[in-house]
């Protein structure tokens, strides 16, 4: 994912496909001895689409001191839109 991002592509992990292993195996000809964990959507993101500007802060880790970054102390569900 980092290599794709470095090349200007966006990615999105698609865990939901693991819930449909028979469909995925059939469509992609995946042998039964391989486990399907997730899929990966790859493409060019649209920076003007509102969801692509969503930023979600993180609660500080109890084992790590809070840094001076703007995200420090924000709620996990807090949305920050420009």
Tokens of 30: 């995946």
Long-range contacts of 41-46 (CB under 8 A, 24+ apart): 41/11, 41/12, 41/14, 42/4, 42/9, 42/10, 42/11, 43/9, 43/10, 44/8, 44/9, 44/10, 45/10
Question: pTM for the whole thing?
Answer: 0.54
pLDDT, mean of residues 44-72 = 73
Q: Which pLDDT score, from 0 to 100, does residue 4 have?
A: 95
How do residues 22-37 score in pLDDT, each as one tens digit?
999 999 999 999 999 9
Q: Hey, where are the domains in the chain?
A: 2-45, 47-82
Query: Residue 41: beta bridge partners?
Result: 12
Tally of residues, the chain: 82
């Amino acid at each position: 994912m980092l290599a794709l991002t470095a090349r200007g592509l966006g990615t999105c992990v698609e865990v939901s496909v693991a819930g449909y292993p028979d469909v995925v195996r059939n469509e992609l000809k995946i042998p039964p001895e391989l486990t399907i964990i997730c899929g990966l959507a790859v493409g060019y993101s649209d920076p003007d689409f509102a969801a692509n500007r969503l930023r979600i802060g993180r609660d500080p880790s109890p084992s790590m001191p809070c840094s001076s970054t703007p995200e420090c102390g924000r709620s996990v569900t807090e949305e920050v839109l420009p």
